[in-house]
Amino acid sequence: MNGACLKFEKPIRDSISRIRFAPQSNNLLISSWDASLRLYDVGSYNLRLETPTEAALLDCCFPQESVAFTTDSDGYIRRCDLQYGINEKIGSHDDLATCVEYSDETWFVVGSIDGRVALKYIYSFNSGNDGYVFRCQPKAKDGRHHLAAVNDISFSPSICGTFVTGDDKGHVITWDAKSKKRLFELPRHLNSIASLSYNCGGQLLAVASSFTYQEANELEEPPQIYIHEMDERYIGSGSASSSSNKT
């Protein structure tokens, strides 16, 4: 499965910190360390907005389709009107946060810097199961020697109980939370995986391949964003696994 690489007239000049698909469209929000927030229309492969900010962007999100929030390295939280590119400060914070992803199915998944993923049930008293921890190693790697940090986790909105992880060595792997099995693995990317995002229907997976300043010998290839279509090979793997869990 080869992903299409997004093209920019003005390349992203520094590490990508986060990518987020919009809640109702294929618009992709991109925050980066070059102090710019970008909005890219994946459907037409067109950059809709690029707006500068006063500091490097550490994260971004969509509270709604036409509005974005960013957390910046100067400690401020900013609100951006995506129609007009107007930024305003709405708050500040004193500390930095790493990523955590939440699922509506009463459990959450957390990635760690030692290459492990922990799945925890919020209401474990109902099932007698607190969750489990597993090492997120690629198929061809020995888990005892593959200690790559898990940089991001994203849940599939179309396949129940499926999530994807991206690590510091360029590996993107999908997992079935219930069967605890690897479903699919994309070809390795040259750079670290900085961020992942599904579109609202789960048909597209955006992968930000970018250096992340986590290792001294890290490759500093230009940041790239790839769009992978979640075709029948991928969907079939997840659907088959979900069906087997019901029997």
For the chain, percent of residues with pLDDT exceeding 70 = 78
* pLDDT beyond 80 at 136: no
Question: CA nearest 32: which of 9, 5, 6, 50?
Answer: 50
Least confident range of 88-102, 120-134, 174-188, 226-240: 88-102
Least confident range of 72-76, 82-86, 141-145, 175-179: 141-145
Domain locations in the chain? 13-97, 98-247
Q: Rounded to an integer, what distance in angstroms lies between the CA atom of residue 28 and that of residue 12?
A: 14
What's the pTM value of the predicted model, to 2 decimals? 0.84
Instruction: Specify the pairing of strand 162-167 against strand 150-155.
Output: antiparallel
* pLDDT beyond 80 at 48: yes
The pLDDT, as a whole number, for residue 246 is 38
DSSP assignment of 3-33, as one string? PEEP--SS---S-EEEEEE-SSSSEEEEEET
Across 70-93, average pLDDT: 87
The pLDDT, as a whole number, for residue 96 is 53
3-class SS at 203?
coil
* pLDDT beyond 70 at 126: no
Range ranked top by mean pLDDT from 48-57, 83-92, 106-115, 238-247: 48-57
Please tell me the CATH superfamily of domain 98-247, with its number: YVTN repeat-like/Quinoprotein amine dehydrogenase (2.130.10.10)
At 140-166, the pLDDT tens digits run 665 555 678 899 999 999 888 899 999
Least confident range of 88-97, 101-110, 183-192, 232-241: 232-241
Task: Establish whether domains 13-97 and 98-247 are of one fold.
Answer: no
The pLDDT, as a whole number, for residue 27 is 98
DSSP assignment of 70-81, as one string? EEETTSEEEEEE
* pLDDT beyond 90 at 34: yes
At 97-118, the pLDDT tens digits run 444 444 555 567 777 777 788 8
Question: CA nearest 163: which of 149, 180, 146, 147?
Answer: 180
Confidence of residue 73 (pLDDT cuts 50, 70, 90): confident
- b/e per residue, 63-88, with b = 16+ CB within 10 A? eeeeebbbbbeeebebebebeeeebe
CATH class of the domain comprising 13-97 = mainly beta
Question: Count of alpha carbons within 13 Å of 152, Cβ hemisphere only?
Answer: 26
The pLDDT, as a whole number, for residue 173 is 93
Across 58-87, average pLDDT: 90
Answer for the pair 21, 40: CB distance below 8 angstroms, yes or no.
no
